[in-house]
């Protein structure tokens, strides 16, 4: 196995699903990795064709020498999904038979190089079971945002992608202000209502390409791909203002507090923050500055 085979960006493109898209759409199908890196990983098949290959611009990039740059294509026709071998050197196999083009049926096994995928149709019970498992494993039950584990996985992939394409990447760490007081004064269930309300503001404010997660008790994070830090700071300022303007009494009535504020630390990928832990630490340092500066603030290396 070459060192590139360990690249964490492998298979990243179709695996990142913003929260709003969670749930099986009618007609949607997926591939499950049965053999290869990230065993059990699910790749959603939408309405646009999926090109599988070794090339960096393949929709599903598999970094393995036995796989051609453009190896196979899967696409949706009115009758269902089809697969075609793109004249690859080592062929595409469907249920162990080499194919040129074929219809995909629920449960089919696709072999490309050393990878084996299982095709699952949205209507299959197994697909629904996988969907449930996927949601349980990746979502925070209170807010239905991504959980910490999924956040860390997505951040690692986004960092690798941003580095390999020399694209910017920013990270926001968001912490509720004086939240202990909310719990102490209004009770834990009221605290949960506040957390859910803040989560829904974050979800509503964030454009679809942003990745919103709950990474701790009263701590959230938003990954901002493809944006310079100036844009991420402007977005953070908008989120901070939207939460500060919340009228919780009007929304739900007592026993929740009348309002809540948040502090936000923003950092972006550069030579000093090129790993998950370094980028997290940089954003945390900015969050600390925001708390020290009196809370209800956005801090970043810019200000
Ligand atoms: N209701 C509720 N409270 C939680 C949950 N997870 C953590 N907390 C509470 O969040 C509070 C965090 O308090 P601290 O870390 O002291 O921070 P803080 O009071 O927000 O103060 P600053 O961050 O300095 O503004 C604690 O009271 C935790 O019990 C949760 O899921 N639900």
**What is the chain's pLDDT, residue by residue, as a tens digit (303 residues)?**
333 333 333 333 433 333 333 343 444 789 999 988 777 788 889 888 999 999 988 999 998 999 999 999 999 999 999 999 999 999 999 999 999 999 999 999 999 999 999 999 877 777 778 778 888 889 999 999 999 999 999 999 999 989 988 999 999 999 999 999 999 999 999 999 999 999 999 999 999 899 999 999 999 999 999 999 999 999 999 999 999 999 988 877 778 888 999 999 999 999 899 999 999 999 999 999 999 999 999 999 997
Instruction: Name the token pair of 38.
Output: 């990230």
The strand ranges marked E within the chain are 29-35, 42-45, 50-53, 60-61, 72-77, 80-85, 92-94, 97-99, 101-103, 109-112, 115-121, 169-176, 211-216, 219-225, 262-268, 298-299
The answer to whether residues 266 and 236 touch, using CB atoms and an 8 Å cutoff, is yes
The answer to whether residues 19 and 145 touch, using CB atoms and an 8 Å cutoff, is yes
Q: Do domains 30-136 and 139-299 have the same CATH topology?
A: no
Q: Does ligand 1 come within 6 angstroms of the Cβ of 180?
A: yes
Specify the fold of 139-299: Alpha-Beta Plaits (3.30.70)
Q: Cα–Cα distances in Å, from 74 out to 48, 83, 104, 126, 131?
A: 9, 4, 9, 20, 21
Q: Does ligand 1 come within 6 angstroms of the Cβ of 175?
A: yes
| Ligand 1 midpoint to CA 272 (Å) | 30
Q: Residues 218, 226, 230, 237: which is the catalytic one?
A: 218
- Answer yes or no: CATH 2.60.200.20 is held by domain 30-136: yes
Give strand pairing partners of 225. 169
Q: What is the pLDDT of residue 133?
A: 84
- What ipTM describes this predicted complex? 0.96
Q: What is the pLDDT of residue 50?
A: 96
| Ligand 1 midpoint to CA 183 (Å) | 7
Report the interhelical angle of 188-205 vs 229-244 (nearest 10°): 140
Instruction: List the chain domain ranges.
Output: 30-136, 139-299
């Amino acid at each position: 196995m070459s060192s590139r085979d360990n690249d964490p960006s492998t298979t990243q493109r179709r695996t990142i699903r913003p929260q709003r898209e969670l749930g099986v759409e009618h007609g949607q199908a997926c591939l499950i990795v049965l053999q290869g890196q990230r065993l059990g990983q699910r790749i959603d098949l939408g309405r646009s064709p999926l090109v599988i290959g070794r090339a960096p611009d393949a929709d599903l990039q598999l970094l393995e020498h036995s796989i051609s740059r453009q190896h196979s294509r899967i696409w949706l026709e009115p009758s269902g999904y089809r697969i075609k071998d793109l004249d690859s050197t080592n062929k595409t196999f469907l249920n162990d038979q080499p194919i040129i083009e074929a219809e995909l049926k629920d449960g089919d096994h696709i072999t490309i190089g050393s990878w084996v995928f299982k095709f699952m149709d949205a209507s299959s019970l197994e697909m629904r079971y996988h969907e449930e498992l996927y949601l349980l494993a990746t979502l925070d039950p209170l807010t239905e945002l991504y959980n910490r584990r999924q956040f860390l996985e997505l951040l690692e992939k986004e960092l690798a992608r941003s580095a390999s394409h020399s694209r910017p990447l920013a990270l926001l760490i968001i912490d509720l202000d004086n939240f202990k007081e909310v719990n102490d004064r209004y009770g834990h269930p009221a605290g949960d209502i506040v957390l859910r309300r803040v989560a829904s503001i974050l979800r509503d404010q964030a454009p679809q390409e942003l990745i919103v997660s709950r990474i701790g008790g009263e701590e959230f994070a938003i990954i901002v791909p493809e944006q310079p830090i100036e844009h991420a700071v402007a977005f953070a300022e908008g989120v901070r203002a939207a939460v500060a303007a919340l009228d919780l009494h009007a929304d739900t009535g007592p026993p929740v507090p009348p309002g809540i504020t948040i502090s936000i630390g923003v950092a972006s990928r550069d030579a000093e923050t090129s790993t998950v832990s370094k980028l997290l630490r940089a954003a945390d340092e900015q969050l600390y500055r925001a708390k020290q500066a009196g809370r209800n603030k956005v801090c970043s290396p810019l200000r």
